[in-house]
Structure 1
Amino acid sequence: MVRSDARENRARILTAAREAFAEDGATSMNQVAQRAGVGAGTLYRNFPTREALVLAVYQDEVSRIVGTAPALLADLAPLEALRRWTTELVEAMRRKHGLGDALSPGAHQAINEQTYGPVVSTIDSMLAAGKADGSIRADADAGDFLQLTGALWRAAPGPDDRSPRMLALILDGLRAR
Protein backbone atom coordinates (compact mmCIF):
# COMPACT_ATOMS: atom_id res chain seq x y z
CA MET A 1 0.00 0.00 0.00
CA VAL A 2 1.29 3.45 -0.91
CA ARG A 3 1.68 5.90 1.97
CA SER A 4 -0.48 9.00 1.86
CA ASP A 5 2.54 11.33 1.71
CA ALA A 6 3.89 9.38 -1.27
CA ARG A 7 0.50 9.68 -3.03
CA GLU A 8 0.43 13.41 -2.27
CA ASN A 9 3.98 13.86 -3.62
CA ARG A 10 3.07 12.01 -6.80
CA ALA A 11 -0.05 14.13 -7.25
CA ARG A 12 1.92 17.36 -6.65
CA ILE A 13 4.55 16.26 -9.16
CA LEU A 14 1.91 15.50 -11.80
CA THR A 15 0.18 18.84 -11.21
CA ALA A 16 3.46 20.76 -11.34
CA ALA A 17 4.56 18.91 -14.48
CA ARG A 18 1.22 19.49 -16.24
CA GLU A 19 1.43 23.23 -15.52
CA ALA A 20 5.13 23.48 -16.39
CA PHE A 21 4.80 21.55 -19.65
CA ALA A 22 1.83 23.70 -20.66
CA GLU A 23 3.98 26.80 -20.21
CA ASP A 24 7.19 25.41 -21.72
CA GLY A 25 7.59 21.97 -23.25
CA ALA A 26 11.33 22.10 -22.54
CA THR A 27 10.90 22.28 -18.75
CA SER A 28 13.56 20.20 -16.99
CA MET A 29 12.98 17.52 -14.39
CA ASN A 30 14.69 19.70 -11.76
CA GLN A 31 12.34 22.58 -12.56
CA VAL A 32 9.38 20.24 -12.12
CA ALA A 33 10.74 19.02 -8.76
CA GLN A 34 11.24 22.59 -7.56
CA ARG A 35 7.77 23.60 -8.69
CA ALA A 36 6.26 20.58 -6.93
CA GLY A 37 8.21 21.30 -3.75
CA VAL A 38 9.90 17.90 -3.71
CA GLY A 39 13.49 16.79 -3.94
CA ALA A 40 15.01 15.34 -7.08
CA GLY A 41 15.16 11.90 -5.42
CA THR A 42 11.42 11.92 -4.82
CA LEU A 43 10.80 12.93 -8.42
CA TYR A 44 13.08 10.25 -9.86
CA ARG A 45 11.68 7.55 -7.53
CA ASN A 46 8.24 8.23 -9.00
CA PHE A 47 9.33 8.99 -12.56
CA PRO A 48 12.78 7.64 -13.47
CA THR A 49 12.86 9.52 -16.80
CA ARG A 50 11.36 12.65 -18.27
CA GLU A 51 9.51 10.48 -20.73
CA ALA A 52 7.94 8.49 -17.87
CA LEU A 53 6.79 11.76 -16.32
CA VAL A 54 5.31 13.03 -19.59
CA LEU A 55 3.51 9.70 -20.09
CA ALA A 56 2.08 9.86 -16.58
CA VAL A 57 0.91 13.46 -17.09
CA TYR A 58 -1.03 12.47 -20.22
CA GLN A 59 -2.44 9.31 -18.71
CA ASP A 60 -3.62 11.35 -15.74
CA GLU A 61 -5.06 14.03 -18.02
CA VAL A 62 -6.95 11.51 -20.16
CA SER A 63 -8.28 9.77 -17.04
CA ARG A 64 -9.50 13.12 -15.75
CA ILE A 65 -11.18 13.97 -19.06
CA VAL A 66 -12.77 10.52 -19.35
CA GLY A 67 -14.07 10.97 -15.81
CA THR A 68 -15.95 14.15 -16.75
CA ALA A 69 -18.25 12.41 -19.24
CA PRO A 70 -20.90 11.10 -16.80
CA ALA A 71 -21.46 14.56 -15.30
CA LEU A 72 -21.63 16.17 -18.74
CA LEU A 73 -24.19 13.60 -19.87
CA ALA A 74 -26.20 14.13 -16.70
CA ASP A 75 -26.33 17.89 -17.22
CA LEU A 76 -26.43 18.32 -21.01
CA ALA A 77 -27.98 16.89 -24.14
CA PRO A 78 -25.72 14.20 -25.63
CA LEU A 79 -24.49 16.27 -28.60
CA GLU A 80 -23.63 19.24 -26.38
CA ALA A 81 -21.96 16.94 -23.84
CA LEU A 82 -19.94 15.41 -26.66
CA ARG A 83 -18.99 18.87 -28.00
CA ARG A 84 -17.72 20.07 -24.61
CA TRP A 85 -15.95 16.81 -23.86
CA THR A 86 -14.27 16.72 -27.28
CA THR A 87 -13.13 20.33 -26.91
CA GLU A 88 -11.38 19.40 -23.68
CA LEU A 89 -9.85 16.31 -25.27
CA VAL A 90 -8.58 18.41 -28.19
CA GLU A 91 -6.80 20.76 -25.79
CA ALA A 92 -5.13 17.82 -24.04
CA MET A 93 -4.03 16.30 -27.33
CA ARG A 94 -2.63 19.63 -28.49
CA ARG A 95 -0.49 19.72 -25.36
CA LYS A 96 0.67 16.16 -26.05
CA HIS A 97 1.60 17.02 -29.62
CA GLY A 98 3.40 20.12 -28.38
CA LEU A 99 5.80 17.85 -26.53
CA GLY A 100 6.18 15.54 -29.50
CA ASP A 101 9.89 16.18 -29.94
CA ALA A 102 10.52 15.23 -26.32
CA LEU A 103 8.93 11.80 -26.71
CA SER A 104 10.23 8.77 -28.53
CA PRO A 105 8.03 6.99 -31.05
CA GLY A 106 7.64 4.24 -28.44
CA ALA A 107 6.32 6.73 -25.90
CA HIS A 108 3.80 8.07 -28.41
CA GLN A 109 2.69 4.52 -29.09
CA ALA A 110 2.39 3.82 -25.34
CA ILE A 111 0.23 6.92 -24.85
CA ASN A 112 -2.01 5.88 -27.72
CA GLU A 113 -2.30 2.27 -26.53
CA GLN A 114 -3.09 3.25 -22.95
CA THR A 115 -5.58 5.97 -23.76
CA TYR A 116 -7.35 4.70 -26.88
CA GLY A 117 -9.63 2.19 -25.12
CA PRO A 118 -10.92 4.53 -22.40
CA VAL A 119 -11.41 7.39 -24.88
CA VAL A 120 -13.30 5.25 -27.40
CA SER A 121 -15.40 3.74 -24.61
CA THR A 122 -16.31 7.23 -23.38
CA ILE A 123 -17.20 8.43 -26.87
CA ASP A 124 -19.28 5.29 -27.33
CA SER A 125 -21.22 6.02 -24.13
CA MET A 126 -21.97 9.55 -25.32
CA LEU A 127 -23.03 8.32 -28.75
CA ALA A 128 -25.21 5.65 -27.12
CA ALA A 129 -26.96 8.31 -25.04
CA GLY A 130 -27.70 10.28 -28.21
CA LYS A 131 -28.88 7.20 -30.07
CA ALA A 132 -31.18 6.37 -27.16
CA ASP A 133 -32.80 9.82 -27.16
CA GLY A 134 -32.91 9.97 -30.98
CA SER A 135 -30.55 12.93 -31.36
CA ILE A 136 -27.61 10.96 -32.82
CA ARG A 137 -27.83 8.79 -35.90
CA ALA A 138 -27.87 5.03 -35.33
CA ASP A 139 -24.75 4.30 -37.40
CA ALA A 140 -22.47 6.70 -35.51
CA ASP A 141 -19.25 4.95 -34.51
CA ALA A 142 -16.85 5.96 -31.74
CA GLY A 143 -13.73 4.95 -33.69
CA ASP A 144 -14.85 6.97 -36.71
CA PHE A 145 -15.57 9.97 -34.50
CA LEU A 146 -12.14 9.78 -32.87
CA GLN A 147 -10.41 9.51 -36.23
CA LEU A 148 -12.29 12.53 -37.56
CA THR A 149 -11.50 14.59 -34.48
CA GLY A 150 -7.78 13.88 -34.95
CA ALA A 151 -7.79 16.79 -37.38
CA LEU A 152 -8.99 19.10 -34.61
CA TRP A 153 -5.89 18.91 -32.47
CA ARG A 154 -3.71 19.46 -35.52
CA ALA A 155 -5.52 22.73 -36.36
CA ALA A 156 -3.52 25.77 -35.30
CA PRO A 157 -4.77 27.18 -31.98
CA GLY A 158 -5.21 30.90 -31.48
CA PRO A 159 -7.39 33.57 -33.07
CA ASP A 160 -7.70 31.63 -36.34
CA ASP A 161 -8.48 28.31 -34.62
CA ARG A 162 -10.65 26.36 -37.04
CA SER A 163 -11.32 23.49 -34.64
CA PRO A 164 -14.64 24.81 -33.22
CA ARG A 165 -16.07 25.14 -36.73
CA MET A 166 -14.67 21.76 -37.74
CA LEU A 167 -16.16 20.14 -34.62
CA ALA A 168 -19.53 21.73 -35.41
CA LEU A 169 -19.44 20.11 -38.85
CA ILE A 170 -18.54 16.72 -37.37
CA LEU A 171 -21.32 16.97 -34.79
CA ASP A 172 -23.80 18.08 -37.43
CA GLY A 173 -22.97 14.92 -39.33
CA LEU A 174 -23.89 12.88 -36.24
CA ARG A 175 -27.36 14.36 -35.92
CA ALA A 176 -30.24 12.02 -36.55
CA ARG A 177 -32.34 13.29 -39.44
Structure 2
Amino acid sequence: MPAQQRADARRNHALILAVAEAEVAAHGADTSLEQVARAAGVGSATVRRHFPSRRALLDAVFQERAEALCARARALADTPDSRAALLTWLSDVTAYAASARGMATTLTYDEAHVSLCSTKLSDAADPLLRRAARDGAIAPDLTIADLLTLVTGIALATEHHRDPAAEADRLLALTVAGISPPASGRAG
Protein backbone atom coordinates (compact mmCIF):
# COMPACT_ATOMS: atom_id res chain seq x y z
CA MET A 1 0.00 0.00 0.00
CA PRO A 2 1.55 3.34 -1.05
CA ALA A 3 2.66 5.60 1.83
CA GLN A 4 0.95 8.62 0.29
CA GLN A 5 -2.43 6.88 0.20
CA ARG A 6 -5.17 8.76 2.00
CA ALA A 7 -5.90 7.82 5.61
CA ASP A 8 -9.45 6.70 4.77
CA ALA A 9 -8.15 4.45 2.00
CA ARG A 10 -5.63 2.90 4.41
CA ARG A 11 -8.41 2.34 6.97
CA ASN A 12 -10.64 0.77 4.28
CA HIS A 13 -7.78 -1.51 3.22
CA ALA A 14 -7.18 -2.66 6.79
CA LEU A 15 -10.92 -3.12 7.42
CA ILE A 16 -11.44 -5.07 4.21
CA LEU A 17 -8.47 -7.31 4.94
CA ALA A 18 -9.61 -8.00 8.52
CA VAL A 19 -13.14 -8.81 7.35
CA ALA A 20 -11.78 -10.95 4.51
CA GLU A 21 -9.67 -12.95 6.98
CA ALA A 22 -12.77 -13.66 9.08
CA GLU A 23 -14.94 -14.48 6.06
CA VAL A 24 -12.36 -16.83 4.54
CA ALA A 25 -11.88 -18.55 7.90
CA ALA A 26 -15.64 -19.04 8.16
CA HIS A 27 -16.53 -19.82 4.55
CA GLY A 28 -13.30 -20.85 2.81
CA ALA A 29 -11.68 -19.67 -0.38
CA ASP A 30 -14.99 -19.40 -2.22
CA THR A 31 -15.75 -16.23 -0.27
CA SER A 32 -16.68 -13.63 -2.86
CA LEU A 33 -15.51 -10.04 -3.03
CA GLU A 34 -19.18 -9.01 -2.76
CA GLN A 35 -19.58 -11.06 0.43
CA VAL A 36 -16.54 -9.29 1.91
CA ALA A 37 -17.89 -5.90 0.85
CA ARG A 38 -21.25 -6.57 2.54
CA ALA A 39 -19.61 -7.81 5.73
CA ALA A 40 -17.24 -4.81 5.79
CA GLY A 41 -20.04 -2.34 5.11
CA VAL A 42 -18.35 -0.91 2.03
CA GLY A 43 -19.20 -0.96 -1.64
CA SER A 44 -18.08 -3.71 -3.96
CA ALA A 45 -16.09 -1.16 -5.98
CA THR A 46 -14.15 -0.21 -2.83
CA VAL A 47 -13.14 -3.83 -2.30
CA ARG A 48 -12.16 -4.17 -5.97
CA ARG A 49 -10.02 -1.02 -5.82
CA HIS A 50 -7.95 -2.63 -3.08
CA PHE A 51 -8.17 -6.24 -4.29
CA PRO A 52 -8.98 -6.53 -8.01
CA SER A 53 -9.63 -10.29 -7.83
CA ARG A 54 -10.45 -12.99 -5.32
CA ARG A 55 -6.96 -14.42 -5.85
CA ALA A 56 -5.42 -11.04 -4.91
CA LEU A 57 -7.59 -10.95 -1.79
CA LEU A 58 -6.60 -14.51 -0.82
CA ASP A 59 -2.92 -13.70 -1.36
CA ALA A 60 -3.29 -10.75 1.01
CA VAL A 61 -5.19 -12.84 3.58
CA PHE A 62 -2.43 -15.46 3.66
CA GLN A 63 0.57 -13.17 3.17
CA GLU A 64 1.65 -13.36 6.81
CA ARG A 65 1.49 -17.17 6.87
CA ALA A 66 3.40 -17.35 3.59
CA GLU A 67 6.09 -15.03 4.99
CA ALA A 68 6.42 -17.24 8.09
CA LEU A 69 6.83 -20.32 5.88
CA CYS A 70 9.45 -18.52 3.79
CA ALA A 71 11.35 -17.61 6.96
CA ARG A 72 11.08 -21.23 8.08
CA ALA A 73 12.61 -22.42 4.79
CA ARG A 74 15.51 -19.99 5.23
CA ALA A 75 16.02 -21.16 8.84
CA LEU A 76 16.17 -24.80 7.72
CA ALA A 77 18.72 -24.11 4.96
CA ASP A 78 21.70 -24.99 7.18
CA THR A 79 20.19 -28.16 8.69
CA PRO A 80 22.79 -30.90 8.20
CA ASP A 81 20.27 -33.45 6.88
CA SER A 82 18.93 -31.94 3.66
CA ARG A 83 16.09 -34.45 3.41
CA ALA A 84 14.96 -33.75 6.98
CA ALA A 85 15.08 -30.01 6.30
CA LEU A 86 12.87 -30.32 3.23
CA LEU A 87 10.43 -32.69 4.94
CA THR A 88 10.21 -30.47 8.02
CA TRP A 89 9.37 -27.49 5.83
CA LEU A 90 6.86 -29.53 3.85
CA SER A 91 5.24 -30.68 7.09
CA ASP A 92 4.98 -27.05 8.23
CA VAL A 93 3.33 -26.04 4.95
CA THR A 94 0.92 -28.96 5.24
CA ALA A 95 0.01 -28.02 8.81
CA TYR A 96 -0.59 -24.39 7.83
CA ALA A 97 -2.63 -25.31 4.77
CA ALA A 98 -4.74 -27.81 6.72
CA SER A 99 -5.36 -25.46 9.64
CA ALA A 100 -6.07 -22.26 7.71
CA ARG A 101 -9.27 -22.68 5.75
CA GLY A 102 -8.78 -21.37 2.22
CA MET A 103 -4.98 -21.41 2.19
CA ALA A 104 -4.81 -24.61 0.14
CA THR A 105 -6.80 -22.93 -2.62
CA THR A 106 -4.35 -20.04 -2.55
CA LEU A 107 -1.48 -22.47 -3.11
CA THR A 108 -3.03 -24.19 -6.12
CA TYR A 109 -1.00 -24.06 -9.26
CA ASP A 110 -3.06 -22.78 -12.12
CA GLU A 111 -0.72 -22.06 -15.00
CA ALA A 112 -2.71 -18.97 -15.92
CA HIS A 113 -2.83 -17.58 -12.36
CA VAL A 114 0.08 -18.44 -10.08
CA SER A 115 -0.52 -16.85 -6.70
CA LEU A 116 1.92 -14.55 -5.00
CA CYS A 117 1.95 -16.92 -1.99
CA SER A 118 2.92 -19.88 -4.19
CA THR A 119 5.64 -17.87 -5.88
CA LYS A 120 7.11 -16.74 -2.55
CA LEU A 121 7.01 -20.26 -1.11
CA SER A 122 8.56 -21.73 -4.26
CA ASP A 123 11.40 -19.22 -4.22
CA ALA A 124 12.08 -19.77 -0.51
CA ALA A 125 11.96 -23.57 -0.63
CA ASP A 126 13.85 -24.06 -3.89
CA PRO A 127 17.27 -24.10 -2.16
CA LEU A 128 16.01 -26.83 0.21
CA LEU A 129 14.78 -28.90 -2.72
CA ARG A 130 17.94 -28.40 -4.81
CA ARG A 131 20.17 -29.36 -1.90
CA ALA A 132 18.14 -32.50 -1.08
CA ALA A 133 18.20 -33.52 -4.76
CA ARG A 134 21.94 -32.85 -5.00
CA ASP A 135 22.46 -35.04 -1.91
CA GLY A 136 20.42 -37.84 -3.50
CA ALA A 137 17.91 -37.57 -0.65
CA ILE A 138 14.87 -37.13 -2.89
CA ALA A 139 13.88 -38.05 -6.41
CA PRO A 140 15.87 -35.78 -8.76
CA ASP A 141 12.90 -34.77 -10.91
CA LEU A 142 10.75 -33.53 -8.01
CA THR A 143 9.74 -29.85 -8.12
CA ILE A 144 8.40 -27.41 -5.55
CA ALA A 145 5.27 -27.16 -7.71
CA ASP A 146 4.85 -30.94 -7.27
CA LEU A 147 5.21 -30.65 -3.50
CA LEU A 148 2.82 -27.70 -3.19
CA THR A 149 0.30 -29.54 -5.36
CA LEU A 150 0.53 -32.57 -3.04
CA VAL A 151 0.10 -30.35 0.03
CA THR A 152 -2.86 -28.62 -1.59
CA GLY A 153 -4.50 -31.95 -2.38
CA ILE A 154 -3.92 -33.24 1.13
CA ALA A 155 -5.26 -30.05 2.74
CA LEU A 156 -8.34 -29.98 0.52
CA ALA A 157 -8.99 -33.69 1.11
CA THR A 158 -8.81 -33.29 4.88
CA GLU A 159 -10.63 -29.96 5.19
CA HIS A 160 -13.80 -31.52 6.60
CA HIS A 161 -12.18 -34.10 8.91
CA ARG A 162 -12.68 -33.79 12.65
CA ASP A 163 -8.95 -33.01 13.01
CA PRO A 164 -7.75 -31.77 9.60
CA ALA A 165 -4.17 -31.10 10.70
CA ALA A 166 -3.67 -34.59 12.16
CA GLU A 167 -5.19 -36.26 9.11
CA ALA A 168 -3.10 -34.09 6.79
CA ASP A 169 0.04 -35.03 8.73
CA ARG A 170 -0.86 -38.73 8.43
CA LEU A 171 -1.42 -38.43 4.69
CA LEU A 172 1.81 -36.51 4.23
CA ALA A 173 3.68 -39.31 6.00
CA LEU A 174 2.14 -41.77 3.54
CA THR A 175 3.16 -39.54 0.66
CA VAL A 176 6.77 -39.19 1.79
CA ALA A 177 7.54 -42.77 0.78
CA GLY A 178 6.46 -41.82 -2.74
CA ILE A 179 8.96 -38.94 -3.01
CA SER A 180 11.93 -40.87 -1.68
CA PRO A 181 14.36 -42.26 -4.23
CA PRO A 182 13.78 -46.03 -4.72
CA ALA A 183 17.34 -47.01 -3.75
CA SER A 184 17.38 -45.02 -0.50
CA GLY A 185 15.20 -47.40 1.48
CA ARG A 186 14.23 -44.49 3.70
CA ALA A 187 10.82 -44.03 5.26
CA GLY A 188 9.23 -40.81 6.69
TM-score range, shorter chain: 0.5 to 0.7
- Is the Cα–Cα contact under 8 Å of residues 65 and 89 in structure 1 kept in the other structure? no
Equivalent residues, number: 159
Q: Does 1:32 align with 2:33?
A: no
Q: Which residue does 2:82 correspond to in 1?
A: none
Conserved in 1, the CA contact under 8 Å of 2:125 and 2:144? Answer: yes
CA distance in 2, matches of 1:90, 1:112: 22
TM-score, structure 2 as length reference: 0.60
Q: Of 153, 163, 176, which residue of structure 2 is paired with 1:171?
A: 176
User: In the alignment, is residue 95 of structure 1 matched against residue 102 of structure 2?
Assistant: yes
What is the alpha-carbon root mean square deviation over aligned residues? 3.8
Give the Cα–Cα distance (whole angstroms) in 2 for the partners of residues 69 and 143 of structure 1: 15
**1:114 lines up with 2:115 in the alignment:** yes
Contact 1:22/1:95, CA 8 A, preserved across alignment: yes
The answer on whether the counterparts of 1:66 and 1:122 sit within 8 Å (CA) in structure 2 is: no
The answer to whether the Cα contact below 8 Å between 1:79 and 1:130 also exists between their aligned partners in 2 is no
User: Higher helix share goes to which structure?
Assistant: 1
Indicate conservation of the 8 Å contact 2:70/2:120, yes or no: no
- Tell me if structure 1 keeps the 8 A contact 2:91–2:169: no
> How much does 1:83 deviate?
0.8
Return 5+ residue gaps in structure 1 as ranges: 35-39, 99-107
Q: 2:20 aligns with which of 17, 41, 45?
A: 17
- Native 8 Å contact 2:155 2:168 kept in 1: yes
TM-score, reference length from structure 1: 0.63
| Structure 2: 5+ residue stretches without partners | 80-84
Work out whether residues 72 and 81 of structure 1, in 8 Å CA contact, stay in contact via their aligned partners in 2.
yes
Fraction of identical pairs, as percent: 20
How far residue 155 of structure 1 moved from its aligned partner, in angstroms, is 1.0
Q: Which amino acid aligns with 2:46?
A: R
